[in-house]
Chains A and B, each alone.
Chain A
Amino acid sequence: MSSMQASHDELLDLVAVYALGALGAEEARIASMHLAVCTECRAEYDALRPAADAVAYAADDRLDLVDCPRIKREIMRAIRPPQRSAIFVASTVAALAAALVFAFIAVSAERKAAETDRTIAALVGPGARQYDVSAGEIVKSGDHIYLVMAKLAPLPAGRVYQAWTLAPGAKTMAPNVTFSPNSQGFVLVTLTEAAQNVGVVAVSVEPSGGSQAPTTKPLFVRPLT
């Protein structure tokens, strides 16, 4: 009886650490399974969890008066709907966002989510310019160029799509990233070349691993003018 008592006190302690969020996976599983069946521990958890949540507020003094409005401006800009005639981009991005969100449920979700949110914000932001191509859109936003491909055909094994860029005044295409669309033909690609170094964007089908120069006729060659 006394040993059972001791072990239940340990469970109550464990539940407190669980409320704080400082348990590893195995112990968290033990705590949550026990919480499902023990009213005493559940009551302890319900009392301590708000106290643990309150701890967060101790950190609310780190944003200074200069940065707070600046960050707010950036966030408000990111959520504003596009004011240009960018219906295609908007609807493509919405569909793509849904596809990406869905894909990320399977992959390690949270880390990519921040990245995706930022990219989508850039795509629909007020500074973005879009260029129609056969398979979707090229979007230039800030320093970056994005390919928002909405209807790419699936490729046989051993083949990938590859992006190419031509610098203003240059004579030969420079190789850029390779990529494959998802099963719906969607893919969102961020080119590795800074926007100011790109005058023309092309995409071709290449062997896996990519090529140094296009080996097939490009799907499109789009000057960004």
Chain B
Amino acid sequence: MQDAGRLMADVRRRDAAAFEALYDGFGRLVYGIASRMLADTATAEDVTQSVFLTVWTRPEAFRGGNVGAWLARVTRNRCLDVLRSRAARPSAEMPVDVADETALDDAILARLDGARVRSALALLPVEQREPIEMGFFDGVTHDEIARRSGIPLGTIKTRIRTGLRRLREHLAGGAA
């Protein structure tokens, strides 16, 4: 794919070919997040369509940084909303959205792909990988992760932090 930041700039100028290239580059990522979080292919398609239509109608929402990381956050936030609307107990606490206007532009995000991330995650001890994946994809708070896994909350938090640090090292190491 061409430089995604350049494509976003072209989308702002209503360039449909640039928009199409963005879908080619990130359609699988957006749909994959939605499908994994919602476990429902029809709603995942709706969210995918809605995220890309937002890119087309409000490209100014992207304020710079890494385009893939930004799209991933926008998608995750929209899925959290769907999960909130589905929640059987509306009182059960859901995680708050992570701000998506501050996508960072970090070296480890520069050439990411799914295969690399999956193998980096696979290198983590399962007790670190599981709470990270639950926290990212399941729309639950760390309290809920602790409750479901029967592990003290303090331990869960430390494992998430240690796991993210290791994940960062694996991704940085493999980048060369």
Residues of A bordering B, CB below 8 Å: 10, 12-25, 28, 44, 46-63, 67-68, 71-72, 74-76, 78-80, 97, 101, 108, 110-111, 113-114, 117-118, 120-121
Contact = CB atoms under 8 A, between A and B. Distances in A.
B136 A20 contact: yes
B158 A13 contact: yes
A211 to B, nearest CB: 32
Given A48-B168, A50-B69, A117 B76 contact: no
7 contacts: A48-B164, A52-B164, A56-B69, A61-B114, A75-B53, A79-B56, A117-B57
A72 B16 CA distance: 12
B5 interface: no
Interface of B: 16, 19-20, 23-24, 27-29, 31-33, 35-36, 45-50, 52-54, 56-58, 66, 68-69, 72-73, 75-78, 81-82, 84-85, 93-98, 103-104, 106, 108-109, 112-114, 116-118, 120-121, 132-137, 140-143, 145, 154, 157-158, 160-161, 164-165, 167-168, 171
B144 to A, nearest CB: 9
Given A22-B140, A49-B104, A62-B35, A55 B167 contact: yes
Contact of B114 (A19, A48, A58, A80): A58
Given A20-B160, A55-B167, A25 B96 contact: yes
Contacts of A44: 161
B160 A63 contact: no
Nearest to A76: B20
A20 B164 contact: yes
Contacts of A54: 69, 108-109, 112, 117, 120, 167, 171
Main secondary structure of the interface of B (DSSP, over half): helix
A19 B158 CA distance: 13
B32 A60 contact: yes
A59 B121 CA distance: 12
A194 B174 CA distance: 55
B93 A63 contact: no
Contacts of A108: 81
Given A20-B160, A79-B53, A50 B104 contact: yes
Closest 8 CB pairs of A and B: A22-B135, A16-B161, A59-B32, A56-B72, A50-B106, A60-B114, A114-B50, A13-B157
A22 B160 CA distance: 10
A53 B114 contact: no
Given A13-B157, A71-B48, A61 B28 contact: yes
A219 to B, nearest CB: 31
A25 B36 CA distance: 23
A62 B31 contact: yes
A59 B132 CA distance: 13
A101 B93 CA distance: 27
A211 B151 CA distance: 58
Contact of A117 (B50, B113, B143): B50
A81 to B, nearest CB: 9
Nearest to A19: B164
A59 B114 contact: yes
A38 B164 CA distance: 20
A74 B160 contact: no
Task: Pick the most buried of B20, B69, B171: most chain A CB atoms within 10 A of its CB.
Answer: B69
B151 to A, nearest CB: 14
Given A53-B66, A72-B24, 16 more contacts: A13-B161, A16-B160, A17-B157, A21-B76, A21-B135, A24-B95, A24-B141, A44-B161, A51-B171, A53-B109, A54-B117, A59-B33, A71-B48, A108-B81, A111-B81, A111-B84
